[in-house]
Amino acid sequence: MKRLFKKNQIIITALAVLIAVAGYINYMGSIKNNEKASNKNVKQTAYKDGDTVEPGEAIMANSVAIENKVTELKLSREQTRAKNLESLYQVINDAALDNQTKQSAVETLNKIATTSELELALELSLEAKGFDNVIVSVSDAGVDVMVNMSTVDDVNRAQIEDIVVRKSGVKLENVVITPIVTEISPEQ
């Protein structure tokens, strides 16, 4: 049993490192994108009160807002997972509990690790195909994909579905694609 705990601790430690690296890469990418956007030389427009606004600034601000929201959602997901993992470790390390309960906790731990790896693999594959700020959520019911687009045309839908079905093995009817609206509405 000690050998099983050591193996699971190694898996969880590796998963935690993977999550930290993914967060760091995502953070560094957002910094680079913000630097690129701020370094562009564009003509500014002067308004009556003397304020200047760069053309496309509202769209840029919205794009950054979407990126920040996606990062926030991913971070929230990982924090929830970390709390769940902590609870499972407490169950596994509790000497008062029976082996069947501990084994169930180990199985749940492994399922969380597998799900996390699949979500990350799908997000990276979709981003490699040009879909920025993608959030993938894998559950027993299927795979939900939130993609940073106001609408998803048939070509993009087919690409997303192909990647998700191929990598996850879920049936096509269990893949849900939700666009994230990036346009600023008149109320804002």
Residues of the domain holding 107: 2-36+56-179
Burial class of residue 23, CB neighbours in 10 A (0-12, 13-18, 19+): middle
Quick check: is 66 in a domain? yes
Instruction: Please compute Rg for the chain using Cα positions.
Output: 21
Tell me the pLDDT tens digit for each residue of 72-98. Answer: 888 888 888 888 888 888 888 888 888
**182 close to 150: Cβ distance less than 8 angstroms:** yes
Quick check: is 50 in a domain? no
Cα dihedral angle (119, 125, 129, 134), rounded to 10 degrees?
A: 20
pLDDT at 143 over 60: yes
As a whole number of angstroms, the distance between CA 73 and CA 33 comes to 19
As a whole number of angstroms, the distance between CA 105 and CA 85 comes to 9
What is the CATH classification number for the domain harbouring 15? 1.10.287.4300
The two beta strands, 52-53 and 45-46, are antiparallel
Under 8 Å CB-to-CB from 174, ≥6 apart: which residues? Answer: 141, 142, 143
Average pLDDT estimate for 20-29: 67
- Write down the pTM of the prediction: 0.60
Token pair in block for residue 91:
């169950």
Quick check: is 69 in a domain? yes
Q: How many domains does the chain have?
A: 1
Quick check: is 70 in a domain? yes
Share of the chain above pLDDT 90, in %: 31
Quick check: is 63 in a domain? yes
